[in-house]
Amino acid sequence: MNSIKKYIAEFIGTFVLVLFACGTACVTGCSSAKGTGYLLTALAFGLVIVAMAYSIGNISGCHINPAVSIAMLVSKKLCVKDFIGYVIAQFLGAIAGAGVLKLIIGNNDMTGALGSNALYIGDIWLSLIIEIILTFVFVIAILGVTSKVENGAVAGIVIGLTLTLVHILGIAFTGTSVNPARSFGPALFAGGDHLACVWVFIVAPLVGGVLAALVYKFLTSEKAAPKAEKAEEAEEVTEEVTEEA
């Protein structure tokens, strides 16, 4: 039952992310030439994370993003069963959010594609690199701020601001995905080129999430090294004492 509650929480969180954040992109146009719409969209994504972190964070951890979930899996903070459940819930939530958005926004979608992502200058490899970097920065910030219990009170704000940061840079290039589910939902209803290239915005964030987990594990493992050395020294001393006795 607890796992089901977690999956429902992830569904709700991703639903809200797509409806409100992609919805903001739709109603503002999210154009870099129109500063207000550009910044409002970036803020919308960040603010949804803040709202959801303090709403469902204590239930599921508020991943609402397969890239975050796969990083937690690699970090051994999430089991395979829950990883699968989380990802399914996230994709279903994104599809539901995009469906509701399409229903209520009608012909007033200024993006023309429900805020779907698009290749930067039509270049697949460049788009992959951009999304991997953006996701890496986002996920490593999450791993860092959630690594200490004392950061719990501010974690949601830090994560939300980091997502806002990567959107401020990334919107002008790919529209910023860093989230396979967020990209798939709108693309499914937008169709055409947006659906044809959505695989880029599924693969790149997952790669970025895995890289962030591996790099963070490497960086923090050095802190544990001195403790391991002390433990070995203690064992050696114990062995010497035992031999002398």
Neighbours of 2 (CB within 10 A): 9
Neighbours of 32 (CB within 10 A): 12
Task: State the pLDDT confidence band at 237, using cuts at 50, 70 and 90.
Answer: very low
Given a cut of 60, is residue 126 above it in pLDDT? yes
Do you know the residue count of the chain? 245
| pLDDT score at 226 | 53
Reported pTM = 0.89
The 10s digit of each residue's pLDDT in 79-119 is: 999 999 999 999 999 999 999 999 999 888 999 999 999 99
Helix-strand-coil split of the chain, %, nearest 5: 80, 0, 20
Six-digit token pair at 16?
A: 């809200």
| pLDDT score at 238 | 44
Provide the residue type at 157 as one letter: I
Contact 26, 105 (CB under 8 A): yes
63 vs 74: CA distance, rounded Å: 14
Contact 91, 7 (CB under 8 A): no
Cβ contacts of 196 within 8 Å, gap of 6 or more: none
Given a cut of 80, is residue 185 above it in pLDDT? yes
106 vs 148: CA distance, rounded Å: 44
Only one residue has tokens 């001195």, namely 226
Contact 160, 50 (CB under 8 A): yes
73 vs 100: CA distance, rounded Å: 30
64-78, 83-97, 224-238: which has the minimum mean pLDDT?
Answer: 224-238
The closest alpha carbon to 40, from 99, 127, 115, 113, belongs to 115
Six-digit token pair at 190?
A: 């937008």
Q: 2-244, what's its fold?
A: Glycerol uptake facilitator protein (1.20.1080)
Task: State the pLDDT confidence band at 34, using cuts at 50, 70 and 90.
Answer: low
Percent of the chain with pLDDT over 90: 82
56 vs 35: CA distance, rounded Å: 32
| pLDDT score at 35 | 75
pLDDT mean over 18-33: 89
